[in-house]
Each structure stands twice: as C-alpha cells, then as structure tokens.
Amino acid sequence: MTILEDWNFWKKSLETGIPRFLYLKKLKKLLSSGQVIVITGARRSGKSFIMKQLAKELIKNGVNKNQILIINFEDPRFIELNPKLLQQIYETYLEFLNPEDKPYIFLDEIQEVQNWEKWVRTMQELKKAKIVLSGSNAKLLSRELATLLTGRHLDINVFPLSFKEFLDFNGIYLKDELDLVSRKIEIKRLMRNYLEFGAFPEVVLRKEKKEILLAYFEDILNKDLVKRYKIRKSEQLKALIKFYFSNPSSLITFNSLEKSLKISADTIEKFSNYFEASYLTFFLKRFSFKIKEQEKSPRKIYSIDTGLANTIGFRFSQNLGKLAENVVFLELKRKALINPYLGFYYWKDERHREVDFVIKEKLRANQLLQVCWNIEDEETRKREIESLIKAMKEFKLSEGLIITEDYEGKEKIKDKEIEFIPLWKWLLV
C-alpha cells in the first residue's frame, strides 16, 4: 500500500509540473468516450506528468481523490509484473479506499507488465473502471491493443515540448502579437537553445542538459531496444542510430546505408522499425500518386528531439538548417494530433528539385513548406524558390511558404506568391 500512496493524491498533493494544455484538452474529450485511453510517446517526453495533470484536473472538477488510482510500473519496488499483480493492486485499492463511484485507473508504462491487455480488456468489458494507459513502444502497444482491444481504445501521442510550451517552461507567456514583437530578441535567443538542446521537459528545466540527454539515450537504448528486442548486435544498433542522429532531415535508403555502414539492409530495416516504434526516429515518405513509387523512393529521417540528435550524433558543423527542418517536421506531427485528416510528405521531381513538406488534408495537397535557414545567400534563394514554384505548378497552388532564420516578407513571381516567415514566428502563430 505504501507504494500506491507514493504515486497517488489520496494523502498528499503531488508535483504535477507545468500544465501541457494541448494534451489535457484532448484527453478530457477522449475520457468522455468511455473507451480505454492510450497515451504513447518517447520515454521522458512527459507522459507521466500529463497523467498526473489529468488526475489533478479531475479532482479539481469534483471527482473524489479516492476514486483515482495511479500506478507507475517503472517503480523498482514492483517485482513480478504480471496480470496477477494488476488484480492484486486493484483489490488492495478497493479494500483500503473503497471508492463510491467507478474509479479512474491510470497505468503508467504499461508495456513493463506481461500480458497486461487481458486484464485491461476484462475491466473494460465489465465496465469496472475508466482506464488510461501510457507506454513507450508504439508497435508493441498497437499489436497488443489490436488483438484484444480492437475498437475499444483511443490513442494520443505525446511529443517533447512545442516551442510555445518551451517558452512557457522558460517563463515567457505570450498573450498577443504585441508580446511577440516586444520580446523578439529574447524569443530568438531561446529559439537557438531550442535547436541546440531540444525540448524534453526535464532538459529544459535543468542546467545539466547534455548529461541528462546522454542518460536518456542510454535508458532508451537499453530498456526500449536492447532488452525489449533481445538484440545481440548492440554495436550495430548504436552505429545506425548515431548515423541517423548525425544526419537529421536527410534522405536515406537501406541499401545505400548497407555499403557505408557495413550492416545488411535487412538488419538496417529491422533496427529502423525498432527506432520508430520507440519514438526515437521518424521516416517521411515522398509524395506520389503511385503507392509503389512512394514505397520504393528514399525516405527522409527525422529525430524525436534535436537536443538528442546533437548530443548523440557526430556534428561536422553547426547545421542549423537541418535542425530547423527537423523542428518543423515535429510541429507538423503535433498539428496532426489536432487534425486527423492532415498528412504530409516531401516532394521531389525527376530533376531533383525538392520541397521539404507537402501538406495534404483529406485527398488534396493544400500547402507547400520549404525550410531555408540562410535565405540571404543568392544561389540558395534561387534554388529554393525555383523548386517551390515547380511544385506549386504541379499541385495547382498559387501560394507557397519558406521558413527562414529571420527573414520576413512576400515575393510575387508571375501568378505565384511566396511568403517568407521566421521559424520562431511560424511556430507561434
């Protein structure tokens, strides 16, 4: 019972951190559905705090604190993690707390418990509790949920802090456009920090940023990859993830990597799937109306966090343009949380002209985004605009957007208009 008291609000108030309103709003809406709610995302991205914030909101809105049970399965005091333990915890909770109404049960890092899904399904079918789960492995969770909870669960994916949340964590609360303008210098300085050290909540709040990031990486590597997938070739695994972190926003194929890393293409593909399942990396497909062409084309690699990429990867130079593109990718992933119809790809033609992001809503491409950090360079500017214009013609769009370090303005080229906007501003509007 002592373990449970440590994780719950029954006898004390718990540290819940700075509220993550985007997720809380969505979670409150999902809770009313009566389905099992599944919170997924990278280890240390803030899932546990968001769970506690949601529990605190429920208490604030009139739910009795005895009606809420939070269990964190990474607590080393839990020894045998199995369905028997889940039932034992549940019965102990009922005996000591005796909740008057249907309880809310929060199961944090559920993937640590073997065969957890059977117990959750039973609780769900018998309508004994409202259940919220969290986990750090997409594929394992989806496989287990698909087999036993088909149609009975709703998912939400948590990312490290958005730039707006990052400013909140740094004590900068922007109320309107005037605030944005008056604090521009401060915001631009913090933008550099955001690109350099990333946005894991604890990293943002603490001074020992690189040390924390190195510890995170070891944790993810050992717990979510080596141990989970019983990997024997851990040196190959490390070499591949270091390559990906050294080359954010770059095009890759498994066959080309086979030659340079001397790891078989099959192993690279297998490890890449593990990275994606553990939310370490993401792969962006090329836009094509032909599925076969889309699948065969190179993919672009993005990291869950620029700070992690900078700390673990080899940095040949300060490539802020690539990091900026990675930040845009992650922001688009967050936007897709709010709008389930939103999808995005990169675009490339036969002459290798490229646009970083084609944003599609339902069946129509409706926006093109190019990320160009140094737009002042004439040759770069010409190349980026030429690629954007070509894509605008192909998708029959009259407007395009180029995200820059600091340049802002508009340019008319015949019947096409290109808007330039600084990254920090695009992330906040």
User: How many angstroms separate the CA atoms of 209 and 222, rounded?
Assistant: 20
pLDDT at 314 (0 to 100): 80
End-to-end CA distance of the chain, in Å?
47
**What confidence score (pLDDT) does residue 138 get?**
66
pLDDT single digits (tens) 55-76:
999 999 999 999 999 999 988 8
Q: Of 21, 46, 19, 50, whose CA–CA distance to 37 is shortest?
A: 50
The pLDDT > 90 percentage for the chain reads 73
Residues near 360 by beta carbon (within 8 Å), at least 6 away in sequence: 287, 342, 343, 344, 345, 366
What ranges do the domains of the chain cover? 2-158, 166-277+306-319, 339-428
Say what the pLDDT of residue 319 is. 84
Mean pLDDT in the chain?
91
Model confidence pLDDT, tens digit, residues 130-187: 999 998 876 555 655 666 566 667 889 999 999 999 999 999 998 888 888 889 999 9
Binning pLDDT at 50, 70 and 90, where does residue 338 land? confident
Name the CA dihedral angle for 387, 390, 395, 397, rounded to a multiple of 10 degrees: 90
From 129, 127, 131, 98, select the one nearest 10 (Cα to Cα): 98
Q: What is the pTM of this model?
A: 0.93
The string of DSSP letters for 335-374 reads HHHH-TTEEEEEEE-TT--EEEEEEEETTEEEEEEEE-S-
Instruction: Return phi, psi of residue 34, to 5°.
Output: 80, 0
Residue showing tokens 């769009």:
397
**Which of 132-141, 181-190, 203-212, 302-311 has the weakest average pLDDT?**
132-141
12 CB burial (10 A radius; 0-12, 13-18, 19+): exposed
Residue 385 has a pLDDT of 95
Could you report the per-residue pLDDT of 386-421, keeping only the tens digit for each? 999 999 999 999 999 999 999 999 999 999 999 999
Per the model's pLDDT, the better-predicted residue between 349 and 291 turns out to be 349
Surface-to-core class of residue 35, CB atoms within 10 Å of its CB (0-12 exposed, 13-18 middle, 19+ buried): middle
Residue 177 in tokens: 């456009």
* pLDDT at res. 79: 84
Q: Out of 3.40.50.2300, 3.30.450.30, 2.60.40.10, 3.40.50.300, which CATH number does the structure's domain 2-158 have? A: 3.40.50.300
- pLDDT 10s digits, 274-293: 999 899 999 999 998 888 88
Select from 398, 406, 399 the least CA-distant residue to 422.
406
- Residue 361: phi, psi to the nearest 5? -120, 120
Nearest partner of 354 among 248, 250, 263, 201, judged by Cα: 250
Please say if the pLDDT value at position 50 is more than 70: yes
Query: What is the token pair recorded at 12?
Result: 């004390």
pLDDT of residue 333: 96
Greater confidence (33 vs 206) lies with: 206
The pLDDT, as a whole number, for residue 112 is: 86
Which pLDDT score, from 0 to 100, does residue 139 have?
58
Summarize pLDDT for 145-158 with one digit per residue, the tens: 666 566 667 889 99
Q: What is the pLDDT of residue 294?
A: 81
Looking at the chain, how many residues does it have? 429
